[in-house]
Amino acid sequence: MAAPFVYRRTNIDGNSERALLKAAMDGDLDRVKGIIKSLSKGKDNRAPVFSLKNGGYEALQTAACMGHLEICKYFVEELGADVNMIAGEGAAEGATAFMASAQSGDISTVKYFLEHGGDLMKVDAKGRTILHHAVSTEGRTVYLHYLITPNYAPNIIFSGIGTPLNGALIYRSLKCMKLLIKASILLILFVHLAGADVNGKGSVMSPLLFATGQGGYTKFIPLLLKAGADPNLPDDTETQIKERKAMIKSYADQAFRRKEYEVASKLYSLVIDHKPDATVYSNRSLCKLLMGDGEGALSDAYQCRMMRPNWAKACYRQAAAHMLLKEYKQAFDALLDAQKLDPGNDDIERELSKAMELMKVSPGKDQH
């Protein structure tokens, strides 16, 4: 997708209105001042200066989109231009000079407009905020550090991209996504406002749906899932849900192999939230066991056994949780059940012997 605006230079000389727009675009401050003096015909007659348009852009917005900070300062501080003044037509319809500055690639210009009253909540004719413009621009990550505040509009949607988070995904900016999601956590904790909506409510397609349906976006999926993206959107087909469930489980398995047990546990939880599964409960039980959460491991093992009562691994998971909790008698009983279901299994036999020895040496909590 192309950036929201396209700019074209013109070849205009003299002191005409179009010459002013060209000078603003070229960053020629002295020429801008000279043309304005000629056009204004006096200090108090500056209305024509702020009604000139080039492709829908006024002079201030033209300077802003090119990152000509000194000209912007001149318009705002000496001529009294409104930083939230909107453009009138074309691709720039409804865009403020603040929004235009996000296209400049110059962070100092963006900061200037923000510090001089740039409206973070204002939208252009297509519903785009300053954040939408920022995520579609080179240098976007730097912009977001300054634009994300307790007053920003993280979830306003427009038809081309959706929310700013959708935009960050489409433009493949992992750093932008992390900043938007991090901001959502801070806002919830400290300001009690909703942050970046990882489910893109109201968008044609959620960020997660987009990422899983396109090639080259696999690195974005774990970030979205860890931030709470819902893999079970109600308008999905059953096939899409199954495919995403399998993909999430795959990411959980990979996290487990990397010994990222907390991440794996959360990803398994997403799969369980969609549809309880004995295998996934078994896997999450093991994650919790390795994290030292005996009660959590035991709870998942019980769920696993209820769903598959004749599965030896479910009994084995239960026994392992009891062992961690030093409940050796219960562990021994669970292992006996496992042995009946899978006789001759070396792992079960070894753990049975260990549980028996521990029952003799240390009675455990269940024996007190």
Render pLDDT for 263-318 as a digit per residue (tens, 0 to 9): 889 888 888 877 789 999 999 999 999 999 999 999 999 999 999 999 999 999 99
User: What was the pLDDT predicted at 50?
Assistant: 57
Domain count, the chain: 3
Q: Does the residue 3 lie in any domain?
A: no
Highest mean pLDDT among 60-64, 217-221, 359-363 belongs to 60-64
Higher per-residue pLDDT: 154 or 362: 362
Q: Are 29 and 63 in contact (CB under 8 A)?
A: no
Highest mean pLDDT among 22-36, 163-177, 182-196, 209-223 belongs to 22-36
Longest CA–CA span in the chain (Å) reads 103
Render pLDDT for 225-252 as a digit per residue (tens, 0 to 9): 555 555 555 445 566 667 767 877 888 8
Residue 95 to residue 104: CA distance in whole angstroms: 14
Do 45 and 98 lie in one domain? The reply is: yes
Radius of gyration, CA atoms only, the chain: 30
Lowest mean pLDDT among 107-121, 127-141, 213-227, 234-248: 213-227
Domain boundary pick from 180, 210, 233: 233
Residue 220's domain is classified under what CATH number?
Answer: 1.25.40
Average confidence (pLDDT) over 48-70: 70
pLDDT band at 324 (very low <50, low <70, confident <90, very high): very high
Do 57 and 168 lie in one domain? The reply is: no
User: Reduced to 3 states, what is the DSSP secondary structure of residue 299?
Assistant: helix
Domain residue limits at 115: 16-131
Measure the CA angle with vertex 151, ends 77 and 91; round to 5°.
65
